[in-house]
Amino acid sequence: MLKTLRQWIGNAESLTKQLDYLIREFQLSVEIPSVRTVRLWRSKNIFSQPPKQKFGFRQILEGLATILLLKKGWTLSSIEQILPLLSDVVLEEQILGEIEGKPTTWLPDSLVKNHRQQTEKAENAVVLLAQGILHLYNRLLASQDDIVRQDDNLPIELYQAMGQLGRLYIEEGKFDRASCVHEVLHNARFSLQNPLWNLAIFQDDNFVYKDVILIDSELVIPTEDCGEIAHKYGGFGEDNLIERRLYLQLCQAVEKLGNRRHFAYTKIRELLGRFSLISQDKFYDYLQEHNLTSLSGDVFNFYTEVPDIWLIDNVANRCGYCGTLMRPNANPKYSNGQCPIWQCEGHLSPKIAEKLDPKKGELLVALPQILTYWTAPAIDELAIYDTAKKQGLNVELYPQSDECDVSINDLTIGIDAKSYRCPYSLAHKLNYRIGGLKHYQTRIIAINDRIIKDHPYYIEKLQEKLDKTDFTATLQIMSVSQVINNIKEGKYES
Ligand SMILES: [Zn+2]
């Protein structure tokens, strides 16, 4: 059909008509452009004919290509950059391929190859960086030393990552920001697409790790995303994952209680979730109340005494949302301190629940790794649990030592709350295994609402990357607020 149009010449109106005709003939399910749109495209340099000259066959191809690419989610500026690189023949092939539903790339060969190579290099650099950060963290934990020195003692992966990042900077013609370990570790507290990194490949729409933050900026602990990415190629032992290590530590502690161990597990996790800031008296009261005093030594190790530098006007401010210790912050907005947990509402809008005077009794605060891996996710877990409890459902928190986060009616419904910032690293984790959730008839993954607000297509991206086979295919993915609504509407009643 296109063949008959090779000699065609016309103005904006007739080009619009021609496109309208072809869209109908090819039965494309796209929006038909108006004359105004065609004129807009001309002003945006989508059409390549010189100014004041009539449109020709090339512009029909450019118009059709633009319509198809917009539908695929391309922006006008990227279309403008690609079209001049494609000859009439290639353009026609791509359009016909697209119409027939064949896989098309729309990128010139040289660019595809180069772009793909760059993306792979960038992904590898991020995996190495995640591994380096995790190793460095483990090493600091073991040595009780919190100073990073750029010497031979840096993990090899960190060196390799810095080298690979350096190449990316050079290839983009930029100043190498990866030569100093301190700068790299500082930048790792921000998402990879943040301008601080200044790498175009990290900001590319198709770069899977662009939303990833490797180090929690407040708590200075490797994030869950960091852990998942580090294990992408299975290079590490699973026990190196921070969360896994904490889990084993707690299981070992509760083991001695025999058949009360699952109960003890839940109560300790609940303590760390609800009372990550607590006075010593209350700490011992809690253990006594649940007949768990024999674990006091083990549980004490999950806390540290509140140091004076975290006091504000000599008192410890408790966050009005999650209950943890608010940290001093130089920003006047946070003159009363800021909640260090980014998933907490108090992180951006601080609110004080109470002021605790350490002179009236020693204060304890959960260790940063506990705050990151247990207290922070507990905000969603406890919100779901408390709602179900209030509705009078048969609900359990962390049943069977964490088979899932919340279960309803024994094995009927299992819910895991997740707050990975990157949908791809969560997909990777779930594809690897869904854990104890597989024991439940209905398996729900509840995604933190703040993350969905920050990344509107999070759930779609996660669904797209999840395996469509095995247990993974049975997962129901929804927001935490959706789960809570369903509970309130009685959807999970037996
Ligand atoms: Zn908070």
Distance (angstroms) between ligand 1 centre and the Cα of 350 equals 8
What pLDDT score was predicted for residue 241? Answer: 64
Looking at residue 107, what DSSP letter applies?
A: S
What pLDDT score was predicted for residue 167? Answer: 80
Which residues have C-beta under 5 Å from ligand 1, the single-atom ion? 319, 321-322, 339, 344, 346
Distance (angstroms) between ligand 1 centre and the Cα of 328 equals 13
371-488, CATH topology level: Rossmann fold (3.40.50)
3-state secondary structure of 275: coil
* Overall pTM > 0.85: no
Exposure on the CB side of residue 45, measured as CA atoms within 13 A: 8
Distance (angstroms) between ligand 1 centre and the Cα of 321 equals 5
Distance (angstroms) between ligand 1 centre and the Cα of 317 equals 11
Within 10 angstroms of residue 21's Cβ, the number of other Cβ atoms is 13
Exposure on the CB side of residue 487, measured as CA atoms within 13 A: 29
Distance (angstroms) between ligand 1 centre and the Cα of 86 equals 53
Which residues is 215 bridged to in the sheet?
222
Distance (angstroms) between ligand 1 centre and the Cα of 71 equals 42
Q: CA-CA distances (angstroms) from residue 99 to 47, 79, 376?
A: 21, 18, 48
What pLDDT score was predicted for residue 477? Answer: 97
Distance (angstroms) between ligand 1 centre and the Cα of 72 equals 40
Distance (angstroms) between ligand 1 centre and the Cα of 324 equals 6
Within 10 angstroms of residue 367's Cβ, the number of other Cβ atoms is 20
pLDDT means over runs of 10, the chain (494 residues): 85 93 89 90 86 89 91 73 81 87 70 70 90 88 67 80 84 78 94 93 89 92 90 61 82 94 98 97 96 94 92 96 94 93 94 95 93 95 98 96 96 95 87 89 96 90 89 93 97 88
Host H or E run for residue 447 = strand 442-447
What pLDDT score was predicted for residue 319? Answer: 97
Distance (angstroms) between ligand 1 centre and the Cα of 415 equals 23
Q: CA-CA distances (angstroms) from residue 335 to 203, 305, 315, 324, 415?
A: 34, 22, 13, 17, 37
Distance (angstroms) between ligand 1 centre and the Cα of 339 equals 5
Distance (angstroms) between ligand 1 centre and the Cα of 423 equals 24
Distance (angstroms) between ligand 1 centre and the Cα of 279 equals 17
Cβ-contact 254, 295 below 8 angstroms:
yes
Domain ranges of the chain: 2-99, 109-240, 256-366, 371-488
